[in-house]
Homo-oligomer: A and B are copies of this chain.
Amino acid sequence: MLTERFLRNRTGIQLTDAERRQLEAAIVDVRTIEARRTVIKEGEEVNVSTLLLEGFMARYIDDRKGLRQLVAIQVPGEFVDLHAYPMKRLDHNVGTLTPCRIAIVPHAAISALIEDNVPFARKLWFSTLIDAAMHRAWIFRIGRLDAVGRVAHFLSEMNCRLEAVELSDGQDFTLEITQADLAEACGLTSVHVNRVIRQLREMELCVFRASRVRILDRAGLERRGNFDPHYLYLDGQTNPASKESAS
């Protein structure tokens, strides 16, 4: 089922079977896209939204010199641009980081789905607000943490999000992004990210090599990154680590 991962393990907003079937039926197309392609440009009018099935996509804002700041990374099971449904026009670019498989849902179909189903509308609304919550965590990460903390926080977030859709076992997952991508996400340079990754390895917190993240000490990594997963609104939180006392 294509929509299987959507809102998987999110607290209190599971789709009903009927809703999931309806959403599934609203998909008009499934496509694959190569890595590193721009999919939507800022300012473009859109009338469909994109559910990411496989791969990683990014949302980013370019500065005047063309340097990009990632503002979100989407993982399988997430809508990349459901916020385009109410907004129609995006304030940022969307592109693939890896080869991706996506499902297309026309906005007209979404309108039909929620027309007579307010609870469903609220769930879709909620899902766009989880993105907003992640944005806030990113602001915190970049604004308050040092380089090691930022990367630790980022990897902790990815671990939790991927765990929710069964793409991480809680300490080991595939993350096919480059150190330069990580730098663009964390507001650092790729050179410095490289040194930070070495530090995390030397601290025996985690290893990131060959597109693979291996977390050696989850509690330690989360503590170093000041990470608390509550903003992800996940079910069955299994991360007591984050509640521990200050360093």
Contact = CB atoms under 8 A, between A and B. Distances in A.
Interface of A: 12, 42-43, 59, 61, 63-65, 67, 69, 71-72, 83, 86-88, 91-92, 111, 114-115, 118, 121-123, 125-126, 128-129, 131-133, 135-140, 142-145, 186-187, 226, 230-231, 233, 245-247
Contact of A129 (B115, B128, B145): B128
Given A115-B118, A226-B63, A86 B125 contact: yes
Given A115-B118, A128-B129, A139-B135, A91 B231 contact: yes
A106 to B, nearest CB: 16
Nearest to A11: B89
Contact of A69 (B42, B63, B143): B143
22 contacts: A12-B88, A42-B230, A59-B136, A61-B139, A61-B140, A63-B145, A71-B136, A86-B129, A87-B133, A91-B137, A92-B231, A121-B121, A121-B125, A128-B129, A128-B132, A131-B132, A132-B132, A135-B135, A135-B136, A135-B139, A143-B186, A144-B187
A139 B140 contact: no
Nearest to A61: B140
A104 to B, nearest CB: 20
B122 A86 contact: yes
Contact of A61 (B43, B61, B136): B136
Nearest to A226: B63
Contacts of A132: 83, 128-129, 131-132, 135
Contacts of A129: 83, 86-87, 128, 132
A108 to B, nearest CB: 13
A213 to B, nearest CB: 21
B140 A69 contact: yes
B125 A233 contact: no
Contacts of A91: 133, 136-137, 230-231, 233
